[in-house]
Structure 1
Amino acid sequence: MSPDLGGTTRLEPARLLVDGTEVARYVLDPALDARHGPRPYLHPVRTLGGTVVTDALPADHVWHLGASLAVQDVDGANLWGGRTYVRDVGYTWRDDHGVITHTGEIERTPGRYAHDLQWRDRAGAVLLTERRRLATSAVAPDTWRLDLHSALTAPADRAVHLGSPATNGRPGGAGYGGFFWRAVADGEPAVFTADDAGEDAVNGSAAPWLALAGVGPGGGAYTLVVTGLGRGDRWFVRTAMYPGVCVAFAFDRPAVVPAGETRHGRYRVWVADGTLDRDRAAALVASVP
């Protein structure tokens, strides 16, 4: 625990290590304006060589918080942050921002963290409960892997609907919302799958894996290789406007968590120093059953 400037006791971030090296810090209860979608998030995340590969609170989208889980429309509550996309109106500031909040710690070790969370609307009503587990592991001298497991459960008496700006009428493939990684890059990064390359080709695809290769602060090259699409999920990708990759839950149609049921997500990210090609990215993915 540590006090913030307002005197409130806040939870210490979890430090995730690989062979004694801190590779990620998991912020559990950020002191943020409600409009920024307060939620636990990973930042900074680093390669084993020390290159930072996440961004948080960037000027272009202040509500982008490193690597996190967030959805813009959860039964009408904005848990992503920023303006809400309203059909036939466009992006609008609304008093509809909820919060994803830590409710209990289960495990904290150098390479693992697990906790319970609640996804709440602006009035504090619980929309979803979640159990989340994170783990880090060494893969090679220049590569480590993050595993994040999420189990989102709807209340016993009602289904919960998940939407995005795209499902609420925004054109242009803006189907974001889910497991989102806001990267940091000096210049436009490269993005590719086994069969396609470039933002236009990859955005909205259902490829088994996706890689983002860029240059971080200080000139260090890095590559992220991401897996985790579930049934109905699609990749949301931005490289020109900003560097970001999302396992999108509601890319072109709303998703539903049925009453009393659980939506399971398993996301893996290989964080590598240097620029990987398709063959090396595919080999990383193939190395894990």
Structure 2
Amino acid sequence: MSTEDERLLAGGAEVATYVPHPDLDIRLGPRPYLHPVRTLGGVRVSDALCFDHPWHLGVSVAMQDVDGVNFWGGRTYRRGEGYVWLDDHGRVAPAGRLPAGDGIGHRLRWQDRTGRVLLTERRRIAARLAPGGWELTFSYALSAPAGRDVTLGSPATNGRTGGAGYGGFFWRAPDGDAVAYTSSAEGEHGVNGSAEPWLAVTGGDAYTLVFRGLRDDDRWFVRTGDYVGVCAALAFERPLVIPAGTSLERDLTVLVADGTAVPPR
């Protein structure tokens, strides 16, 4: 834990570390993230700098396409070409603090590799005890500049098939046996692309995560096979435009519980 990192507490217990300014290669899409995140019982429920996808950084906000700039990290999906390495990566950099009570609040700049600012962000993160464990609240607002619309895209909007519309609030969980389910479906193929009010992931008998907070045309992007991850995807099927001078706001909550919790069906 560096001197810049911040602790997130729930009921006096440390449940996560926030890394505001990671020193990473630009190809990994450097951005602030939470990791490690743990249950009250100490079970780690996040992963970062993973062998399979090193640009997966714990709990973060990342987009593969912001006006053509890759803030997700890794290769970029190009229509007709597939995934290719390009010099198109950006970084999300801290730009000051925001009042956040006992939580964490930051202003951020989404910059391309030349330093040009495409978006500004206001972010607040907090934790509280909740029935069965503790609850993370993660609120962010992405603002377009006064004179220019900003378009958010994904591999899906750029031509990839198979429900790969990821981009937005993303949680990379540890590898292992995991099951994802909603009130009406179970398994990766059943829940990926759904818009259910909540989505749960269980990691064997070790932990349960329950995600809430989709808005408008958002969809759950879910993986439990190649890796374990959940994204509240902003551009799952079609690009999302933030009009000039306006903000896109999202408020996510995640229940973090030991063992196998039972969300309402």
TM-score of the aligned structures, taking structure 2 as reference length: 0.97
Q: Which residue of 2 aligns with 1:138?
A: 129
Equivalents in 1 of 2:7, 2:187: separation in Å? 34
- Which of 247, 251, 257 lines up with 2:242 in the alignment? 257
Summarize deviations over 1:10-34 as a string: whole Å, max 9, x none. Answer: x611100112211000000000000
Q: Are 2:38 and 1:46 aligned?
A: yes
Q: Would you say the 8 A contact 2:100–2:124 is kept in 1?
A: no
Q: Alpha carbon RMSD of aligned pairs, Å?
A: 1.4
Instruction: Choose which of 36, 52, 71 in structure 1 pairs with 2:28.
Output: 36
Q: Which residue of 2 aligns with 1:275?
A: 260
Q: Percent identity?
A: 58
Does 2:215 align with 1:225? no
Which residue number corresponds to residue 180 of structure 2?
A: 191
Offset at 1:123? 1.2
Q: TM-score, normalised by structure 1?
A: 0.89
Runs of 4+ in structure 1 off by over 6 angstroms are: none
Q: Distance in 2 between matches of 1:20 and 1:46?
A: 14
Is 2:152 the counterpart of 1:162?
A: yes
Q: Specify the code of the residue in structure 1 equivalent to 2:108.
A: L
2:120 paired with 1:129: yes
Call closer, same or farther: CA 1:108–1:232 in 2, change over 3 Å: closer
1:56 partner letter: A
Distance 2:140 2:59 in 1: 14
CA contact (8 A) 2:92 2:108 kept: yes
Aligned equivalents of 1:162 and 1:18: distance in 2?
33
Corresponding letter in the other structure for 1:112: G
1:69-98: CA deviations, max 9, x gaps?
Answer: 000000000000000001100100000000
1:151 Cα deviation (Å)? 1.0
The one-letter amino acid paired with 1:34 is: I
Using the alignment, how far apart are the partners of 1:83 and 1:133 within structure 2?
A: 29
Q: Is 1:78 aligned to 2:70, yes or no? A: yes
Q: Which amino acid aligns with 1:126?
A: V
| Secondary structure of the corresponding residue to residue 148 of structure 1 | strand
Structure 2: any 5+ residue segments left out of the alignment?
none
Separation (CA, whole Å) in 1 of partners of 2:113 and 2:238: 24
Does residue 1:69 correspond to 2:61, yes or no? yes
| Kept after mapping to 2: 8 A contact 1:14/1:108 | no
Q: Letter of the 1:166 partner, please give it.
A: A
The answer to whether the aligner puts 1:211 opposite 2:193 as a matched pair is no
Counterpart Cα distance in 2 of 1:94 and 1:82: 9
Corresponding residue pairs, total: 265
Alignment of 1:104-123 (within 5 A): 104-107=96-99, 111-123=102-114
